Amino acid sequence: MTGRAAGAGGGAPPLGLYIHLPWCVRKCPYCDFNSHPVAGAALAAYVEHLLADLDRALTLAEARRPVASIFIGGGTPSLLPGSAVARLLDGVRARLTLAPDAEISLEANPGTAEARRFAAYREAGVNRLSIGVQSLEAERLVALGRIHSPEEARAAVAMARAAGFDNLNLDLMFGLPGQTPALARADLEAALTLEPEHLSYYQLSLEPGSAFHANPPPLPDPDLVADIAAAGQARLAAAGLARYEVSAYARAGRRCRHNLNYWRFGDYLGIGAGAHAKLSRWRDGRVERVWREARLADPGAYLGGVPEALVAERRVLDADDLVVEFALNALRLVEGFAPADFVRATGLPARRLAAPLDRARALGLIESDPARVVPSARGRDFLDDLVGLFVSD
């Protein structure tokens, strides 16, 4: 497919593009994402498969709309050489119209070899880097199975700045094996000295399918972790990083637009092994149908498949699905949502929310504001319980 695709959708929400790279140098024991040990030969062929995948996705009229954001995630996308990222983004631009101010993010590990590619990524059009620091303490990095050092993390940030990046996210975990409140406080202070525009500050969790879930490490007491979280939130606010989502903090104008589109139940294409997509069909300014797609997760199967066979699952969301999935995303936001947002995004009447909202208010999980559904501090702390109230009996 050549040329820029025409927009379609009649009032449809913003469209993002997620691109998944499924390889890492080594899988971290806490990770449950679709990632596998790196395969050098496969990397060379992967970009062309991604573009063929995108061509197939664009046979849907709902996919041929201007793209507001691109997120290249993984795995470890910074395993790709700069020339491959340039080829990928040039191919995307040839097929889709990008908004003039499109946010283009790429996830990167702090290893020195990968950081040397940052200038090439910036030249290719990436304007936001997300660096997986996780900790700036050597002992905690070893406990997490990370393969970089604190010094390499600091060097990676310096290289990103030298390459011209003025929009950096750092991932930082707390509640780590052997971590005390004092160590967590020092870790956060070390991250703040790097002056990121955005910080993803989140608790280590033992996700099913991860090595840590099968063999849990000794973790701090939950009450201690709660104290660490509260102290961290206060420190980030004092540093000018405002919390806008459960684990996302940003300086003014630096919230991640791609992730905001997820949380506001926007549409997005997903290409690459294991990538997910969510699309909606609109007519006369109203949503008619919402569906999700998932690509083949196994990298070998993805690389060996023809574009027409890469979609492993396609599921139309029914009314119960829409209620739960909207709540699952929108309730992550500190600002919550207005009932009109729900009606517009799902096509369902606001009364579908009445019963779960009444239960949530009674439990103190949302604020008592009829004009807006805003999670309380308790609701954010017990988000799974809050979302569970929206599951149909």
Q: Is the separation of the CB atoms in 298 and 327 below 8 Å? A: no
Joined tokens for residue 135: 């900790």
Distance CA 220, CA 205 (A): 12
Q: Is the separation of the CB atoms in 112 and 78 below 8 Å? A: no
Residue 324 — left, alpha, or beta (φ > 0 → left; ψ -120 to 50 → alpha)?
A: alpha
Q: Give the per-residue pLDDT at 2.
A: 39
Distance CA 151, CA 207 (A): 28
Alpha carbon 175 to its chain centroid, in Å, reads 21
pLDDT, averaged across the chain: 93
Regions of the chain short of the pLDDT cut 50: 1-8
Distance CA 60, CA 388 (A): 33
Q: Give the per-residue pLDDT at 393.
A: 67
Domains of the chain, CATH where assigned: 15-260 (3.20.20.70), 319-393 (1.10.10.920)
Q: Give the per-residue pLDDT at 10.
A: 59
